[in-house]
Amino acid sequence: MADEPLILGIETSCDETGVGVVRGHTLLADALASSVEQHARFGGVVPEVASRAHLEAIVPTMERALTEAGVTIADIDAIAVTAGPGLAGALLVGVAAAKGYAVAAEKPIYGVNHLAAHVAVDTLEHGPLPEPAVALLVSGGHSSLLLIDDLARGVTPLGATIDDAAGEAFDKIARLLGLPFPGGPYIDREARAGDPAAIAFPRGLTAAKDLARHRYDFSFSGLKTAVARWVEARQRAGEPVPVADVAASFQEAVCDVLVGKALDACRSNGVETLVIGGGVAANSRLRAMAEQRAARQGIRVRVPRPGLCTDNGAMVAALGSHLVAAGVAPSRLDLPADSAMPLTTVSV
Ligand code: KG4
Ligand code: ZN
């Protein structure tokens, strides 16, 4: 609808420079410039390289988004920007750019939480999120289960990883198997040709003794070690490593734990909607497993299409749009970039 607010979103927390434009829940533009190829040879994101790439990409990406949406900065009602969590130098570029545009065009600014934006993006595909909902957030830097009572004003953390993030585990195992960075999509692809039951890898924090203290927490470091030991034993024996089977069995172990704990959180909180967000939500096995198991329990799963799961500007615009609609006050113009912004802070 033309009378809904027109929101611009800027994302620069990691290696993607994203600018999105939404009107209400309608996505109008989602421009992206990625520095992922500049990091590939290091096997991980190099913060200084990411910051420099954002500096170069921010203005052209902004112009591309406005053109794609067919609007000018003067038409925008509010600017939302990822204020944290993320890489400090990378966040600074987006926050400084957002402030510059906000001052120049006299627009309100919203400094928002990247993780809440990963949840909000689903509204662009599936409409308003029923509340309460449970959110499973799985990205390269975070893995958390959240209870969403009110996405505009606060979320309740239920659990999180106690070591590696799920995406980090995918990236490390991919590296071990000689696959490119970032490894998640490559494991996903390899696993399609493999047998998920070929190797029984451990499911972290699912034993009865762990559940007492860590019912909704995750741990992937034991799994990572188990995969490494298994591969090393093969190599020592001079046998070929069955990459597809290892990828499929590893992926199965990760998804099994993520889905099991997320559905447990829904049941025990009387929640009927599970929303999955973050880069790992693009994983085809995670999506299929969550849908199958949830359907048997009468729980509805919402996952945005893969292109909206990984970092982008549209997700920030979607959260900004939700905040404006909920009547949340804008941020101060001196809002800081906060690399360690807590999950419970939706906007600053
Ligand atoms: O949300 P995101 O784009 O950036 C962060 O905020 O971290 O997530 C990136 C992570 C990477 O670890 C990447 O390997 C993983 O998401 N990822 C996947 C898939 N696509 C991206 N993991 C598993 N399967 C995928 N298809
Ligand atoms: Zn992310």
What is the CB neighbour count within 10 angstroms for residue 42? 10
Q: What is the pLDDT of residues 7-17, one digit of tens each?
A: 999 999 999 99
Q: What is the pLDDT of residues 115-127, one digit of tens each?
A: 999 999 999 999 9
Output the residue whose Cα is nearest ligand 1's atom 13.
184
With a 6 A CB cut-off, is 165 part of the ligand 1 pocket?
A: no
Q: Which atom of ligand 1 is nearest to 183's Cα? A: 14
Output the residue whose Cα is nearest ligand 1's atom 21.
279
Predicted local confidence at residue 41, as pLDDT? 87
Q: What is the pLDDT of residues 267-286, one digit of tens each?
A: 999 999 999 999 999 999 99
Over residues 58-75, the mean pLDDT reads 98
With a 6 A CB cut-off, is 85 part of the ligand 1 pocket?
A: no
* Mutate-to-test residue for ligand 1 from 137, 139, 254, highest number of ligand atoms within 8 A of CB: 139
Over residues 313-323, the mean pLDDT reads 98
Output the residue whose Cα is nearest ligand 1's atom 14.
184
Predicted local confidence at residue 40, as pLDDT? 86
Q: What is the pLDDT of residues 6-65, one digit of tens each?
A: 999 999 999 999 999 999 999 999 999 999 999 988 888 999 999 999 999 999 999 999
**Which pair of tokens denotes residue 338?**
């906060």
The single residue listed with the structure tokens 């996505």 is 27
Predicted local confidence at residue 44, as pLDDT? 87
SS3 readout for the chain: CCCCCEEEEEECCCCEEEEEEEECCEEEEEEEEECHHHHHCCCCCCHHHHHHHHHHHHHHHHHHHHHHHCCCHHHCCEEEEEEECCCHHHHHHHHHHHHHHHHHHCCCEEEEEHHHHHHHCCHHHHCCCCCCEEEEEECCCCEEEEEEEECCCEEEEEEEECCCCHHHHHHHHHHHCCCCCCCHHHHHHHHCCCCCCCCCCCCCCCCHHHHHHHCCCECCHHHHHHHHHHHHHHHHCCCCCCHHHHHHHHHHHHHHHHHHHHHHHHHHCCCCEEEEECHHHHCHHHHHHHHHHHHHCCCEEECCCHHHHCCCHHHHHHHHHHHHHCCCCCCCCCCCCCCCCCCCCCEC
CA atoms 202, 282, 79, 25: torsion sign: negative
With a 6 A CB cut-off, is 35 part of the ligand 1 pocket?
A: no
Predicted local confidence at residue 254, as pLDDT? 98
**139 labelled ligand-binding:** yes
Task: Tell me the average pLDDT of the chain.
Answer: 97
* Mutate-to-test residue for ligand 1 from 255, 280, 289, highest number of ligand atoms within 8 A of CB: 280
With a 6 A CB cut-off, is 84 part of the ligand 1 pocket?
A: no
Over residues 241-262, the mean pLDDT reads 98
Span from the CA of 35 to the centroid of ligand 1 (angstroms):
14
Q: How far apart are CA 181 and CA 174, in angstroms?
A: 7
Over residues 175-194, the mean pLDDT reads 97
* 1 has pLDDT over 60: no
Q: How far apart are CA 57 and CA 137, in angstroms?
A: 27
C-beta separation of 47 from 87 below 8 A: yes
With a 6 A CB cut-off, is 144 part of the ligand 1 pocket?
A: no
**Which pair of tokens denotes residue 26?**
């309608």
Output the residue whose Cα is nearest ligand 1's atom 10.
140
Q: Which ligand is nearest to the CA of 173?
A: 1
Supply the pTM of this predicted model.
0.95
With a 6 A CB cut-off, is 182 part of the ligand 1 pocket?
A: yes
* 2 has pLDDT over 70: no
* 335 has pLDDT over 60: yes
